[in-house]
Structure formats: structure tokens, C-alpha cells
Amino acid sequence: MVVSHRFIRFVMIDMYVLDLDGKAVKVTDLAGAIEQAGQFKDYKHEDPAFAELDQRLNAYWHDLYEKLLQLQMTLSGTSTAHEK
């Protein structure tokens, strides 16, 4: 009797994206990170005194959101329209 064993090896790869400040942000839950960045990218204070801060934070989260989506597309083997 011949028994064949197949082993599946999973390799965990640390994922990082660079934020607007050039700092590496480790991504441990890509779907969760996309969801979080998607929620944060359009938040703003009701008080107009925070307009400048809101502008910087919105730019940060929009940038991070786009980079996370790009990472997701890269991992899934899909491409965006502007890459074609």
C-alpha cells in the first residue's frame, strides 16, 4: 500500500504600507484596515476651528486607504484601470 502525503505550507508575510510621513505601517488585518481607513477618510469636526487639522487628517486617511486598496489588488492579482 502506497500512501501519499501532501503538505501545504503557509507562509506568513508581514505587510507594510508607507504613510504620508514615510513611516512604515504594519498591516495585520487588511480587510479591517481598509474598513477603518474608509471610515476615517471623511471624518471632520463640527467646529470649523479644526478645519486645518481635518484637511491634514483627511489627506492622511485618503492616502492610506488608496494604498491599502492597492495592496489588496496586488495580493489578489487584480489591477486598477490606470495600470492598464
pLDDT per residue of the chain (84 residues) written in tens, 0 to 9: 555 556 656 666 789 999 999 999 999 999 999 999 999 999 999 999 999 999 999 999 999 999 999 999 998 887 655 444
Find out whether 65 and 37 touch, Cβ atoms under 8 Å. Answer: yes
Q: Does residue 41 sit within a domain?
A: yes
- CA dist., res. 83 & res. 54, Å (int): 30
Please state the pTM of the whole predicted model. 0.76
| Nine-digit cell string for 64 | 492610506
For 76, the domain range is 15-83
In a domain? residue 78:
yes
Q: Which H or E run contains 51?
A: helix 51-76
Instruction: Give the pLDDT of residue 78.
Output: 77
Any domain includes 5: no
Residue 19's pLDDT is 96
Lookup result for grid cell 501532501: 6
Q: Is residue 52 in some structural domain?
A: yes
Residue 1 lies in a domain: no
Report CA Rg, the chain.
Answer: 19
- Chain-centroid distance of CA 60 in Å reads 12
Residue 7 within a domain? no
- What number of H helices and E strands is found in the chain? 2, 2
How many domains does one find in the chain?
A: 1
| Domain annotation covers residue 29 | yes
- Give pLDDT, residue 82: 47
* 10 domain residue, yes or no: no
